[in-house]
A and B are shown apart, each in its own frame.
Chain A
Amino acid sequence: MSAIQIFVFVSSLIGLGLGQTAQVNVTFSPLNIPPTATCHAEVDFFDVNGNLIKIKTLALSPGQSAQVTLSRLELAGLLAPAHPLFWAQAGLDACTGDKNCNIKFCAQSMSASGQEADAFGSADLLLPNQLEFLSND
């Protein structure tokens, strides 16, 4: 179950073609945040039926980045249709028990993006962030 408290990135629903993987990149800027800080990020992938099929939690320090990938095999198995659909989201988890974590600082420093890559790992499609279209109050 997703534990995201503050959303930073939400993709639209999109398909993966042959040889492609989905990738979500997460970065914490080192600006405006103490160097000893830790931020707890989470990346989730959902299938076309809304099932959470992959969840990855990350503990990152200022300046660090991470990439979370989803393959067609993970998305739809060996018998995947030609164009299995997914969507992804990324954000911040609560700082529970971590004295070096301040979720407000983390929210100001975190950025995330989505892309699809071909079989060689080369990005061939950017996934725009849909968060601006959602009522994120």
Chain B
Amino acid sequence: MLGMLALISALLNPGAPISLGLLQYGQVNLAYVPGGFSAPDDYPPSPCVMNVIVFDGRGNAVKNQTISLTPGQTGVLKFTRSDLASGGSLGIFTEQGQVENTCDPSNDSCDFTLCNITQSVEIVDTLTGVTRALDTPSINAPDFDQE
């Protein structure tokens, strides 16, 4: 039983739970930072593919988006309290972002962990656009998590 729990936790490792207040929305931002980071002999797939999921307070996946990025590109997934309504009235959510391994298995030089994508989760005031809270969870590399 414990082994099963450990496996589930490895496969599904969302960030810390946060809640959205009234007149706030949440936003997951991704940016593929260009230049200067890659290892000399290996390279990331092109494009890098990210899968972003937002879960409500009951663990239901309420937003899911697959985003393909090349260096310099960005992606945004926005969600509101109404998107989280199935999880209760508190507006609690968690977020998970993973880089998908899109490398051809026969290509030893392709390494999806070299996808230099930053991730942030903002809680934004609807009226002013001011970010009230910011989380920058690490992006999971699923193949490593399952080891």
**A residues touching B (Cβ–Cβ < 8 Å)?**
2, 4-5, 7, 10-20, 46, 48-50, 81-85, 87, 89, 116, 118, 124-128, 130, 133-137
Closest to A17 in B: B130
Q: Which of A4, A10, A48, A116 contacts B131 (CB 8 A)?
A: A116
Q: Which of B71, B118, B130 contacts A12 (CB 8 A)?
A: B118
Minimum CB–CB distance for B112 against chain A, Å: 11
Cβ-based interface call for B125 (8 A): yes
Q: Inter-chain contact count A-B, CB under 8 Å?
A: 105
**Which residues of chain B are near A4, meaning CB under 8 Å?**
36
**A135 to B38, Cβ gap below 8 A?**
yes
Known: A12-B136, A18-B128, A18-B130. 13 other contacts (CB 8 A): A10-B33, A13-B120, A14-B131, A14-B134, A16-B129, A17-B131, A83-B27, A87-B33, A89-B33, A133-B138, A135-B37, A137-B37, A137-B39
Q: Which of A13, A116, A124, A133 has the most CB of B within 10 A?
A: A13
Task: Name A's interface SS.
Answer: loop
Closest to B44 in A: A135
In the assembled complex, the Cα of A87 lies from the Cα of B126 at a distance in Å of 21
**Which residues of chain B are near A17, meaning CB under 8 Å?**
124-125, 128-131
6 sampled A-B residue pairs with Cβ under 8 A: A12-B136, A13-B30, A16-B129, A83-B124, A133-B119, A137-B37
**B124 to A15, Cβ gap below 8 A?**
yes
In the assembled complex, the Cα of A15 lies from the Cα of B125 at a distance in Å of 11
Q: Which of A20, A46, A81, A135 contacts B113 (CB 8 A)?
A: A135
Task: Name B's interface SS.
Answer: loop
**Which residues of chain A are near B76, meaning CB under 8 Å?**
13, 48, 85
**A134 to B118, Cβ gap below 8 A?**
yes
**B31 to A12, Cβ gap below 8 A?**
yes
**B39 to A7, Cβ gap below 8 A?**
no
In the assembled complex, the Cα of A111 lies from the Cα of B134 at a distance in Å of 21
Closest to B69 in A: A50
Q: Which of B33, B36, B74, B138 contacts A85 (CB 8 A)?
A: B74
Cβ-based interface call for B116 (8 A): yes
